[in-house]
């Protein structure tokens, strides 16, 4: 029993350290995004309608187990999308998010991040 407990603690510490390493890394594109960013609104709306709205709601307000996005910062949204695009599993809906994010270019991520954070105020 003590070995099992020690192993559990060691694995928990390792998992937390790994998570901390991945969350402190931020790409240049995500760090440079602001709500004042000029974006392609038509492209962003198209992405939102096709890929986001069904789960996150018509106004990115969230629904069921899908979080609200409208009140988040664009840089945070971009960072999360980049992590999903890289195939990183972040939460329970990661498989769905990874499949959508894999199709996004850097420009798409900037567009959708700013759009979602600002369009529904």
pTM of the predicted model, to two decimals?
0.73
pLDDT of residue 32: 64
Of the chain, the percentage scoring pLDDT greater than 90 comes to: 68
Which range among 19-28, 32-41, 73-82 has the greatest average pLDDT? 73-82
SS3 content of the chain, % helix, strand, coil (to 5): 65, 0, 35
65-103 burial code (b ≥16 CB/10 A, e <16) = ebbebbeeebbebbbbbbbbbeeeeeeeeeeebbebbee
pLDDT confidence tier of residue 37, bands split at 50, 70 and 90: confident
Q: What is the pLDDT of residues 51-70, one digit of tens each?
A: 999 999 999 999 999 999 99
Which pair of tokens denotes residue 28? 């240049």
- Name the packing angle between helices 74-85 and 94-101 (round to 10°): 90
pLDDT reading at 28 higher than 90: no
CA 106 from centroid of its chain's CA atoms: 13
**What's the mean pLDDT when you consider all of the chain?**
82
């Amino acid at each position: 029993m003590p070995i099992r407990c020690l192993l559990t603690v060691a694995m928990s510490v390792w998992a937390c350290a790994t998570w901390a390493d991945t969350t402190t890394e931020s790409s240049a594109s995500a760090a440079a995004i602001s709500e004042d960013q000029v974006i392609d609104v038509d492209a962003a709306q198209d992405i939102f309608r096709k890929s986001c709205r069904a789960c996150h709601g018509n106004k990115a307000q969230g629904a069921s187990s899908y979080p609200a996005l409208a009140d988040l910062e664009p840089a945070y949204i971009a960072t999360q999308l980049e992590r999903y695009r890289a195939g990183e599993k972040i939460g329970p809906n990661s498989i769905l998010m990874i499949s959508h994010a894999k199709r996004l270019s850097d420009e798409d991520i900037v567009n959708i991040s700013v759009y979602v954070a600002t369009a529904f105020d």
